[in-house]
Amino acid sequence: MIFNSIDFAIFLPIVFILYWFATSKKLKLQNFLIVAASYLFYGWWDWRFLSLILFSTIIDYSVGLGLLKQENQTKRKILLWTSILVNLGFLGIFKYYNFFLDNFITTFSFFGTEIRANSLNIILPVGISFYTFQTLSYSIDVYKRKLEPTKDFTAFSAFVSFFPQLVAGPIERATHLLPQFYKKRTFDYSKAVDGMRQILWGLFKKIVIADNCAEYANLIFNNSADYSGSTLVLGALFFTFQIYCDFSGYSDIAIGTSRLFGFDLMRNFNFPYFSRDIAEFWRRWHISLSTWFRDYLYIPLGGSRGGTWMKVRNTFAIFIVSGFWHGANWTFIVWGALNAIYFLPLLLTNNNRNNLETVAQGKVFPSIKELSFMLLTFGLTVFAWIFFRANNIGHAISYISEILSPSLFSTPKFAGMGRALTTIILVAIFVLVEWKGREGQYAISNLGIKWKRPLRYAMYYAIIIAIFWFGGKEQQFIYFQF
């Protein structure tokens, strides 16, 4: 079940009514409803993979109870590694087995040895990378004694399977989300209204911007050999806005939906394309994943406390693993390594925490210096996205080679260029709205709050009309494949 579907439009009100009117007096019953709704939500896609979520839930719940009773450090490590190996084992089989097998065969073929092995013909379970990391955060934090292990299996099941963020995040920490299932929740009208507002903006980003950009990004990337360098630049820009509006749109809908049920999820995007350097970009892009790797990989490896070699090693480790998390393809690994190369000069010169505040805070326009750095960072990001979107390394290199050819200075041309101008105008309007609302939690969180009600509601209806009038052909959320 996806957020921008009729199925979800029917599902959400039913669960909302049952949650607040039929189960609100008993916390246990509310949590059980969340578990049932979440399993229905996920099983709507493929019920067979519900067993994976249930098994992961049982394993990590049992590990938590074991850690509660166990003081022997060796046995505690065994319990932790049980959780890590089981969770990453499932992830490795479903997501990476064929990748490693193919590269293993290719390597031996290079040295003249032929190896025959059968690849697995399996479907990648939607959201497995997200809920795997979420449950791992529980086991690790319990092991480190940062969190008291739960004895409430229903609450823990709800934490693992919470449907708003189950398949594409944000990747919640157990220390933040799990305790919310222990507390009685009362309906908060202002929180619900704010949630609906964020859902509306998320739908706009997904349906109007991402889905329209996807049409032209797919056309250009899938037929890149037929187009000039200028057209390929346009294709990269379309994908740049597609992936941001697709993923941040999902996060907006997830966070807004959670507010309807009295939950607060962590912020996942903070206007990353207005960043003035790559370090700032990564503080604002996919925050739940980047902070997960920081806390559970980068810092345990030593962070930036050691010498230059350790800083370089740890930086490449976190970015390459982040790239590999996205998919079993060398393009993602190169994308991660490229971002590490961008990031290293800032780290080694201690300039990686220069831009902590919102750009041009309290001002209408950025300074020339701020604008220059934003454009440079945006350009580096667009270049890296080419590797992310390309089918393989060869495709990425040929794509970039054509961009660097004299055809870069020609007029962009592709089928549907006239219709694409509408999308370009919509993207421009979107960027202006995002810039206006960059100091809020999301672009329209404060927009129109002080306006008179008719004018404020006119804005909301205008967004709704735009969704139906300009909505592109339905596209699957990009991060479902990760």
Crossing angle of the two packed helices 417-436 and 453-470, in degrees rounded to 10:
150
Catalytic residues: 326
CA distances from 347 to 308, 310, 340, 402 (A): 10, 12, 10, 32
Our CA angle for 255, 261, 264, nearest 5°, is 40
